[in-house]
A and B are shown apart, each in its own frame.
Chain A
């Protein structure tokens, strides 16, 4: 963490109800609906599935997962919003979003404490119904799969990441509140049995499994074949591999050109469209990348910044550069949460540096 605080309680952001509802909540619902329209197109087009670099072996499964509307749990849209002009979609973290515990619980508790201590007005509210909606959603998922009362949902993340383990523990707690028995297994410890089912360390089958691990990795690793035959129901479901893919950004721009909440975006090989667009500064992003890795900022053909990293072999997209708003010394990015299809709150990250997508401090907010 570079010795800087990740959770910063010394400051907070203040919004009006109009800003929250009209500038963030409504656009979040609309953007999400647009994204789902895009998924509908992708799963029905081999050309698009190929552009999204979904391995062909999974095309049928992705399509089926979407046709059956296998239930999703949550997403986070990253929005650039300065308080006045329309929020712009930077990307959709639809498969493995983190900072959930900070948003749903700590931020809520921070407001509760500050109101009770008289430091904030009793009228202060917060756009944050994450926890309530997560619990309700788990109950819906339990019903959708008709989970027996003694059934167990597994939760999984990688080893050696306290942050991810915290997110997953929080989701386990939410599942418990929804009366779902739950257990945990690390991604690396998942096994495959002779019967074709995935197993935990006790050889118990994974019937339902939440995974904080990207589909784009799972579809390319050695157990990927077994995904096609195993009976495990995954949360997030397989169709989220389309939604979390950065190829979604150029497709959205194509489907909804000049939408006020979108930034111009193209596939990196659409060079003629890129040169014709009225944009001088572009950001190149790999289809699959995390935490601001392999981001390249290009202005008039000159590379201004290249963050480097291990991604990019699957191809890239370009998105018009849009400056993060600066408040005092800090650049700010809004994470706008959805539980299933419902906007469920926001979280705010900021940093002294303007490199997008790797903002190190988490700040709470109030509505007044």
Chain B
């Protein structure tokens, strides 16, 4: 025989099993590696667009506006999301949450309480991050500034200036908040009541 028609070798240790089920994969939480010598920048928190405009030269007005807009977009993309208003208010306080409707369903998230900007006047690029705070007695975020990923700043919300690392100002990962499950698989439930098949099996051919 010259050419074999079969697989040359198989990793038996891995493949030999009696269909043992593995546990569900556990997602790996994002870990930010913060370098020790990482530079710190001044970050300033504004609670409104007007505050930013008042606090900066007129030439920075456009930057204030885009930083505000960016923070609002980021709040929606990366901010905490809840499936019920109760859960959201438990964390952020009464009347602190809004409903967000999307094509795939609705959920609740806290209002953006402010936004942190850094390097606003720099010719290269500025940073802008949405900031949240809580009015709930139950929450560790109460009267503190907190970022979309849960990073809590020291001191209470009267503090508006912080020395922050670049990584703290970096864009946060998108948060996927599952709104609904069970949208696939209904055909199986509908058709599996029928059972003359010789094998109890699935939907492969």
B203 touches A158 (CB 8 A): yes
A290 touches B205 (CB 8 A): yes
Stretch at the interface among B19-27, B51-59, B127-135: B19-27
B176 touches A205 (CB 8 A): yes
B8 touches A194 (CB 8 A): no
Contacting A at CB under 8 A, from B127-159, are none
Stretch at the interface among A34-42, A175-183, A272-280: A175-183
Contacting A at CB under 8 A, from B173-205, are 174-188, 190-191, 193-194, 196-205
Instruction: Mark A315-347 against chain B: 1 for CB-CB distance below 8 A, else 0.
Output: 000000000000000000000000000000100
Instruction: Mark A124-137 against chain B: 1 for CB-CB distance below 8 A, else 0.
Output: 01111111100000
Instruction: Mark A250-282 against chain B: 1 for CB-CB distance below 8 A, else 0.
Output: 000000000000000000000000000000000
Q: Which residue of A lies closest to B189 (CB)?
A: A188
Which B residues touch A6, using CB under 8 A? 199
Say yes or no: A223-B184 contact (C-beta < 8 A), given A125-B1, A182-B25, A184-B24.
Answer: yes
B201 touches A291 (CB 8 A): yes
**Size band of the interface chain B makes with A:** 35 or more
Which A residues touch B122, using CB under 8 A? none
Nearest-CB distance from A99 to chain B (Å)?
A: 8
> Is the contact region of chain B dominated by helix, strand, or loop, or is it mixed?
loop
Total interface residues on A, CB under 8 Å, equals 96
A131 touches B7 (CB 8 A): yes
Say yes or no: A203-B27 contact (C-beta < 8 A), given A169-B19, A221-B184, A229-B103.
Answer: yes
Q: How many angstroms from the CA of A121 to the CA of B4 in the assembled complex?
A: 14
Instruction: Mark B157-171 against chain A: 1 for CB-CB distance below 8 A, else 0.
Output: 000000000000000
A127 touches B191 (CB 8 A): no
B205 touches A199 (CB 8 A): no
B25 touches A226 (CB 8 A): no
Which of B4, B187, B194 has the most A CB atoms < 10 Å from its CB? Answer: B187
The verdict on B104 contacting chain A, using a C-beta distance below 8 Å, is: yes
Which A residues touch B24, using CB under 8 A? 183-185, 200-202
Nearest-CB distance from A106 to chain B (Å)?
A: 9
Q: Which residue of B lies closest to A212 (CB)?
A: B204
The verdict on A111 contacting chain B, using a C-beta distance below 8 Å, is: yes
The verdict on A301 contacting chain B, using a C-beta distance below 8 Å, is: no
The verdict on B10 contacting chain A, using a C-beta distance below 8 Å, is: yes
Which B residues touch A309, using CB under 8 A? 191, 194, 196
23 contacts between A and B (CB under 8 A): A20-B5, A93-B205, A96-B204, A105-B10, A125-B1, A126-B6, A131-B7, A159-B185, A169-B20, A183-B24, A183-B25, A187-B184, A190-B184, A191-B178, A191-B180, A195-B176, A217-B184, A217-B188, A244-B205, A290-B205, A292-B197, A345-B6, A358-B197
Known: A109-B12, A163-B202. 19 other contacts (CB 8 A): A99-B204, A108-B6, A109-B10, A125-B4, A126-B6, A127-B5, A128-B5, A164-B202, A183-B25, A190-B184, A191-B180, A194-B102, A195-B174, A203-B176, A204-B25, A290-B205, A291-B205, A293-B197, A358-B197
Nearest 6 Cβ contacts at the A-B interface: A183-B25, A98-B204, A223-B183, A161-B202, A164-B202, A93-B205
